[in-house]
Amino acid sequence: MVNSKLLKKMITFSIDKIEREFQESLKEEIKREKKLFNDYKKKLRGLINVTGLFRHLSDNTYWSPEGIVDIELTDEKTSGYSRYQHARIVGDETKRLYCKTPDDGVRGVDHYYVWQSTGCCEDDYWGWMLYPLKDGRYFKVHYNC
């Protein structure tokens, strides 16, 4: 026969341990994310309105920085968006076709390129945005909503 008080203590101990491990893991993830964002703030300084861009992205979506890339313009078009300029990331094996989109959400940025997909419910979406930098390269951001 199982001692119910002992079993209850064991379950409570296990749940508490899992909760502590989860909290520690979450703290570590937040610390890594802050470091990543701070590293990109330094890399982007002088190349774009960093404060405005980070605020704009954080106000509108969940996002994370992925890198600084070069793009090449292409005459290929995405169906339904034939009047817009398109581009690809140089050397990107996925060969995603990004669509140029006008933007006035960030001072000093008049456009960005976007590749977007929808989730199974079609009211959620995710993708990548490429923001122009003053040196001709682009800041690549992954996002989802």
Amino acid 118: pLDDT: 78
The whole-angstrom separation of Cα 49 and Cα 25 is 32
The whole-angstrom separation of Cα 136 and Cα 83 is 23
How is residue 50 written in tokens? 């960093």
Q: How confident is the model at residue 4 (pLDDT cuts 50, 70, 90)?
A: confident
**At 76, is the secondary structure helix, strand, or coil?**
coil
Phi-psi region of 96 (alpha: psi -120 to 50; beta: other; left: phi over 0): beta
Please name the residue that has the structure tokens 């992925």. Answer: 66
User: How many CB atoms are located within 10 Å of the residue 32 CB?
Assistant: 10
User: How many CB atoms are located within 10 Å of the residue 121 CB?
Assistant: 6
Query: What is each CA distance from 57 to 9, 12, 97, in whole angstroms?
Result: 46, 41, 21
C-alpha R_g of the chain? 22
**74-90 confidence digits (pLDDT tens):** 988 876 778 889 999 99
Q: Give the predicted TM-score (pTM) of the model.
A: 0.81
Query: Average of pLDDT values for 46-61?
Result: 91
Query: In b/e form, how buried is each residue of 64-78, taking b as 16+ CB within 10 angstroms?
Result: ebeebbebeeeeeee
Q: How confident is the model at residue 99 (pLDDT cuts 50, 70, 90)?
A: very high
2 pLDDT exceeds 80?
no
1 pLDDT exceeds 60?
no
- Report the interhelical angle of 50-60 vs 4-44 (nearest 10°): 140
